[in-house]
Amino acid sequence: MHLFVDSLTNVDFSYLHHTRGIVGETWLANAALDGALDQQGMVCDFGIVKKTLRNWLDDELDHRLLVPVRSPHLVIERDGDQLHLEWALADGKCITVGGPAQAFALVEAESITAESVARWCVTQLDGVFPTSVDQLTLAFSNEQIDTPFYHYSHGLKKHDGNCQRIAHGHRSRIRIDVNGQRNPELEALWAERWKDIYLGTREDLTGESGEADDKHLHFAYQAQQGAFALSIPASRCEILGCDTTVEQLAQYIADELAKENSGKDITVRAYEGIGKGAVAIARR
């Protein structure tokens, strides 16, 4: 018998890619279980399936940096509970990330894809369901978005929860209205501007190194979960004078657009992953 749960939950995270760098992502999770019927006439109670998988995905994937540990581009060191990663990029530059082990998902794969992560999850979940379940299948997919969107990564050191992790992110749509009319051109411009971007807070910037095309920016902060650090090529980062909550990102975009569109009403509807976000208004 085949049991399925579509759109079980969604996970927001970032991952390391050889060309794209740190990529903010949001996936929908779908699950299927195959097995015999138990004494209740079920393969497994839907309540157990949903609770078990949601809790595991929330704990082990959501708001983490996914790291393909079999990649030749990775050097990883452990110091107690702290991990330090060096990730080589295709352009010869590198990204380094440090933080508590709980901020990372060490995926047994050469690269992070929906398929490789799903296979790894299934191996990690082996044995968690009743013996009536013979096989678990997971599949991840993107939200269908027909309008502009961007991938961003960030960290929120003041957050009480897992948003404090320095490299997690989202795949997010954006809507921009000028004087009450939607403006697809401006949406496309911001989607391109924040394509695979790291959004850093200026007060977390501890220094920079290199010059011109080889400049790297260094961020670090202490949060409740521990010490975090990140170094990234400047070309893959935008520095903001505020924290990078979705509320402040929406206002940042609105304020930037208001400077360029004097006398016009700007409304920005910025998403954080799927189905949630903030609306900001500005006029100069």
Mean pLDDT of 236-252: 97
Is there a domain that residue 133 lies in?
yes
Residue whose C-alpha is closest to residue 142's, from 106, 122, 117, 167: 117
Q: What's the token pair of residue 159? A: 């957050």
51 class by beta-carbon count within 10 Å (0-12 exposed, 13-18 middle, 19+ buried)? exposed
Q: Which long-range contacts (CB under 8 A, 24 or more apart) does 83-86 make?
A: 85/16
For residue 267, being part of any structural domain is answered with no
User: Residues 129-157: what's their mean pLDDT?
Assistant: 86
pLDDT of residue 36: 55
Residue 155 belongs to a domain: yes
Asked whether residue 177 is domain-assigned, the answer is no
- Among the residue ranges 1-15, 37-51, 71-85, 175-189, the one predicted with the least confidence is 37-51
Least confident of 16-20, 21-25, 38-42: 38-42
Measure the CA–CA gap between 15 and 22, rounded to whole angstroms.
6
- Angle of CA points 216, 218, 223, to nearest 5°: 155
Q: pLDDT at residue 2 above 70?
A: no
Taking only the tens place, the pLDDT of each residue in 120-139 is: 999 998 877 655 556 788 89
Q: Which residues contact 195 (CB under 8 A, 6 or more apart)?
A: 150, 151
Asked whether residue 216 is assigned to any structural domain, the reply reads: yes
Helix (H), strand (E), coil (C) string for 157-224: CCCCCHHHCCCEEEEEEEEEEECCEECHHHHHHHHHHCCCEEEEEHHHEEEEECCHHHCEEEEEEEEC
Q: Where do runs of H (alpha helix) occur along 5-45?
A: none
Instruction: Name the residue range of residue 104's domain.
Output: 2-171+196-239
- CA 105 to CA 34: how far, in whole Å? 27
- 244 located within any domain: no
Does residue 109 form part of some domain? yes
pTM for the model stands at: 0.94
pLDDT band at 59 (very low <50, low <70, confident <90, very high): very high
Identity of the amino acid at 76: I
Q: Which pLDDT score is estimated for 32? A: 79
Element (H, E) at 172: strand 168-178
Q: Is residue 263 part of a domain?
A: no
CATH number for the domain that contains residue 65:
3.30.479.10
Rounded Cα distance, 97 and 217, in Å? 12
Domain count, the chain: 1
